[in-house]
Amino acid sequence: MSNSEAKLFFVDPLVCNVQLVASCSARGLSCIAEDWIITTQTKGTSICVWRCGQKSPLYKCRLPESIGPIVVSPDGAYCFGGSISGILYSWELSSGRLIRSWNGHHKAVRCLGLTDDCSYLVSGGEDAVISVWPVLDLVDADDVQTRVSEGHSWTQHSLAVTNVHVGRGGLCARVFSSSLDRTVCVFEIFSKQLLFTIACGVFLTSVVTTPDESWLFVGCGDGGILAVDLRTNDSASNMITMEGHSGVVTDLLSVDQGTILLSSSEDGTVKVWDVSSRQCVQSIDLKEPVSCLAAVAKSAHCTNVNEHDLVPFAPLKKFGNAVNADDNQLSAIEEDSFQPQFLVDKITTEKCVSVYSCPYFVGLELRLT
């Protein structure tokens, strides 16, 4: 992955405009409930919290080291981040308190995922290890002195894990992983077993399934997207290649109840695919490498922002024993920090995502070369 500066865009498929919001790192993007976005920076050690519809961050929280991937629990109570040193962090969003930090991987953390019931955190790293952590141990503020115990780990990959996708089902959920070793592995959390492996001809960068896990989509290094029908007994022999990108596929996103697939690539395009036909129905050329996709449900707050509304969380603290975190609570951004601007007037409607009537904002994170 490039270390060049990245940008975060929002694409409104209903009114067809593009809005530059922030700079952030690859996979360093997550949603807090429906109205808030949290991002990590490619350069620097800050985490920014944004509100949909605003062009400046509410908080900019400085941390001891650079954070890469980040994920927020579905209820918006906790936030988890992985660093380039392999350390994992957990915060309580309501107070901003750093609950725990622990050594999760021997190398940089590349990806994070949560079960739908928030019972387990799944992390993948450049050390080729996938680890599963009980969330209850990670958020227990009354027992922070006890060493975090790893639930279990999988070491079937031989090269860096590039992405993990956690399906539905809580404890019984399946974990799908992609790796630079050209394989997709499917695990089950409850049994701790490897269910099956799919071998591919190129290195893999991303993986996602439809909500019912009937289809598996894998982003490849040659620009192709592999579609695998998981309803058959021999999934590996039923792979379909969806061609359209000319560069490495960097991220995949399933939206609209699994009927639409979005893909981003280093060739500077975002493509919209119809899952039933596996055909590309829309292509957006942003002319710059795109490294990450995310979606948040549109709400009234995204268009009607009131600066006096109650903020349901606090700035993230730098240290676990911090009582006064004034160094993290920035009501105003420093003059030398990144100043986002709106680009709606500079981008034509041909470059905007139009996913029929799907009520989603799609965040596009672009890496500038």
Are 27 and 39 in contact, with CB atoms under 8 Å apart?
no
On the question of pLDDT at 23 being above 60, the answer is no
Query: Looking at per-residue confidence, does 178 or 74 come out higher?
Result: 178
pLDDT of residue 286: 80
Q: What is the mean pLDDT of the chain?
A: 77
pLDDT bin (cut points 50, 70, 90) of residue 207 is very high
pLDDT of residue 344: 26
Query: Looking at per-residue confidence, does 130 or 9 come out higher?
Result: 130
Tell me what the mean pLDDT of segment 245-260 comes to: 90
**Quick one: how far is CA 209 from the chain centroid?**
14
Query: Looking at per-residue confidence, does 125 or 9 come out higher?
Result: 125
pLDDT of residue 51: 79
pLDDT of residue 25: 66
On the question of pLDDT at 294 being above 80, the answer is no
pLDDT bin (cut points 50, 70, 90) of residue 333 is very low
Between 34-48, 127-141, 218-232, 310-324, the lowest mean confidence (pLDDT) is in 310-324
pTM here is 0.79
Query: Looking at per-residue confidence, does 128 or 353 come out higher?
Result: 128
Between 45-49, 67-71, 205-209, the lowest mean confidence (pLDDT) is in 45-49
pLDDT of residue 214: 92
pLDDT of residue 305: 55
**Residues 6+ positions from 166 with CB-CB distance below 8 Å:** 113, 114, 115, 116, 120, 122, 173, 174, 175, 176
pLDDT bin (cut points 50, 70, 90) of residue 24 is low
Query: Looking at per-residue confidence, does 159 or 256 come out higher?
Result: 159
pLDDT of residue 55: 73
Phi and psi based region of residue 213 (left: phi greater than 0; alpha: psi -120 to 50; beta: remaining): left
On the question of pLDDT at 275 being above 70, the answer is yes
CA–CA dist 311, 175 (Å, integer): 33
pLDDT bin (cut points 50, 70, 90) of residue 54 is confident
pLDDT of residue 177: 97
DSSP string, 145-158: TSPPPP-EEE---S
On the question of pLDDT at 17 being above 50, the answer is no
pLDDT bin (cut points 50, 70, 90) of residue 342 is very low
Query: Looking at per-residue confidence, does 281 or 51 come out higher?
Result: 281
Are 185 and 174 in contact, with CB atoms under 8 Å apart?
no
Q: Using DSSP, state whether 116 is helix, strand or coil.
A: coil
Q: Please classify residue 89 by burial: count the beta carbons closer than 10 Å to its beta carbon, then call 0-12 exposed, 13-18 middle and 19+ buried.
A: buried
Tell me what the mean pLDDT of segment 273-282 comes to: 92
On the question of pLDDT at 132 being above 60, the answer is yes
**Quick one: how far is CA 320 from the chain centroid?**
25
pLDDT bin (cut points 50, 70, 90) of residue 96 is confident
Query: Looking at per-residue confidence, does 137 or 52 come out higher?
Result: 137
pLDDT of residue 116: 92
**Residues 6+ positions from 134 with CB-CB distance below 8 Å:** 119, 120, 149, 151
CA–CA dist 96, 92 (Å, integer): 5
pLDDT of residue 57: 79
- Tell me the pLDDT tens digit for each residue of 215-228: 999 999 999 999 99
